[in-house]
Homo-oligomer: A and B are copies of this chain.
């Protein structure tokens, strides 16, 4: 057998990971829970690996951590060590990391502590905050495989611009996180480091493509993480893992230095944005820290729009989209939307129903524009190593129907996309709706390998609307979420609707899955959208709006 098989090369990627794990913090194999144990969120405490102070540190939000470091009551070093320990354990349980950077992170924390000691102030708004980083965000002098075996030796010459800005603000990068092959699954599996699991239920996917980030946030391996999103890849992991995620309007956050197969493709802009383990406030902290540095003065593809301070207000109109007109959400999702609706109405916020506008058409546009070249570039990366395509890669490649579009066909789709955007925007205005509250996915989370329906998130990509995901406060309930007689009678509108509806069967398959809400705002109303999410979070979950 040749040593040059793709498996040999994939092993290199696993070696990078294996060699990077700080062994001193590994939980001995005999203390790990059985693979059959679904929920592992209690392990940080149960394992005894983290002491009380470390548990309390890792329970804090980025905002709270920075405040404590500002008071001198925490050091950056102990913060990063606590999160590193938790991340090592998380990785043992969930396989979410692709590389640890413990020594560098601790060295950097020490420098920040020295700065604080000397200057009596923090270096910036993210001083000492550990941030996990999706693997395809380039880090200087490190490999960047973007989920392809053939790219395992590719070394990056410079930190991605976003990392430079976050580092300027005081952020510390301690762990890089897993992504699916081709980046185009709402799941997280590749031929290098394998499959990442959901901390709430290891039979479920953490979502994808920023699935390593979903797991990182869900297990609290960092207060903040960096994901990317071209169809739901930030929001789906946030939803599945019960955390917070934000897809900004395109051309606000810098993509320079983030590696993808189809670089230069701009029919549908990918975006980079934050995930947070603890709060919407942290998503805003991240956005402000980045945009206050005016990244458009380096990456001129960005629009020069500063991050505005928007005071959350209840004087807004929220429309609830119960169903996208194509695929019926599972019972727990509808329950969570009702729960939110009732609470919002109770405090007097104006809530209306949102009749979806041509979401099937929107999906036709975006799914065709993902692969106008019939995924040639993605196939090329697979062929370069000989690695097999993962089932969900094949699934997304099939969006192209194997057809290469002409430029004229692509341009016609781009024109349709813009018309659809303008129509949707006009409709929001005509209906007097500021924000749309909706599911992030038809199910609370997908069973591993089953993430097939993207449109609840991808619709905001084709429309380029900012959208935040946050927990509803509810989880799948074995009693409340059983299929009713009414449910059993549901006649699906299409094969797709039937396929997704049949996946539910009952709450057991989705045990302990958190249920998320998604809120989308108007184009470029990123600040308003996060502010509105905080209003809903306050009303529905009782989270106080505090940092104003």
Residues of A bordering B, CB below 8 Å: 251, 256, 262-266, 296-301, 303-305, 372-373, 376-377, 404-408, 410-416, 418, 421-422, 425-426, 429, 464, 523-524
Contacts and interface: CB of A to CB of B under 8 A. Distances in A.
A285 B464 CA distance: 31
A422 B264 contact: no
Given A376-B408, A407-B372, A408-B376, A300 B264 contact: no
Most buried by B among A299, A300, A406: A300
Nearest to A372: B407
A411 B404 CA distance: 15
A411 B413 CA distance: 16
Given A298-B426, A303-B303, A303-B305, A377 B264 contact: no
Given A373-B406, A422-B256, A411 B301 contact: no
A299 B420 CA distance: 11
A362 B9 CA distance: 39
A408 B298 contact: no
A265 B421 contact: no
Contact of A266 (B264, B376, B414, B426): B414
Contacts of A296: 524
A404 to B, nearest CB: 8
Contact of A304 (B305, B408, B422): B305
Given A299-B422, A422-B298, A411 B265 contact: yes
A373 B425 contact: no
A252 to B, nearest CB: 10
Contact of A300 (B251, B263, B376, B421): B421
B411 A376 contact: no
Given A256-B422, A422-B298, A411 B264 contact: yes
